[in-house]
Amino acid sequence: MNTTTTHSQETPGAEQDTLRLAVIIGSTRADRFGPVPAAWFAGEARRHHGFDVDLVDLAGMHLPNSLCGSDDSDALGARLDDADAVVVVTPEYNHSYPASLKIAIDYYHDQWRAKPVGFVAYGGMGGGLRAVEHLRGVFAELHAMTVRDTVSFHNFWDRFDDDGNPHDPSSTGKAAKGMLDQLHWWGRALREARTRRPYAS
């Protein structure tokens, strides 16, 4: 299974503020670009000091309706269940998001409910934003709460250097922090609400 788990360094006394963040690489194509922005964003989340980061790579992870022999649904479900917040890293394929991501989203229900979801998108002139708009409707149906801000890379092939760092770290870092701040606020609020009272749907 091609997955990596990384953990943020917590500031003293910040245990109650630290949230578990799942960063999902949505594309599984052999020539995909997704691991580059996903690794960058995971680094930004670790530096935020508000998150423990679990980098979830759907490549090599087999779900029952992906027509593969093995089944990693329990392992993926447990990681999503543990998450207080989720970030989906998605390209734009034909004005929408990848089939691999749809399979992963549709297989689960309770794991998404009453949790905040953010997006890191990449594409051509559209920057993957049409994929994000489709995903917002899907997650609304699953009772998840998508945050307002999105990190988007237009013409992504020109946006990163050979080491996987953005050419414009100031603006991209600011965009990442803005979305992470929103995820952290909603993540804490919704976690506290779920603890007090089970979510009704």
Render pLDDT for 91-135 as a digit per residue (tens, 0 to 9): 999 999 999 999 999 999 999 999 999 999 999 999 999 999 999
pLDDT at 2: 42
What's the token pair of residue 36? 């580059």
Catalogue all structural domains in the chain, each as residue range(s) with its CATH number: 4-9+17-196 (3.40.50.360)
- Alpha carbon distance 65, 103 (integer Å): 7
Helices 35-48 & 169-196 angle (0-180, nearest 10): 70
For residue 51, give the 3-state DSSP assignment.
Answer: strand
Q: Where would I find the H helices in the chain?
A: 35-48, 73-82, 99-106, 129-141, 169-196
pLDDT at 3: 42
Q: What are the residues whose beta carbons fall under 8 Å from the beta carbon of 114, sequence distance 6 or more? A: 143, 144, 145, 190, 193, 194, 199
pTM of the full predicted structure? 0.88
Output the CA–CA distances (angstroms, integers) from residue 90 to 26, 129, 139, 197, 198, in the order listed: 5, 9, 14, 32, 30
Share of the chain above pLDDT 70, in %: 89
Is the pLDDT assigned to residue 63 strictly greater than 80? Answer: no
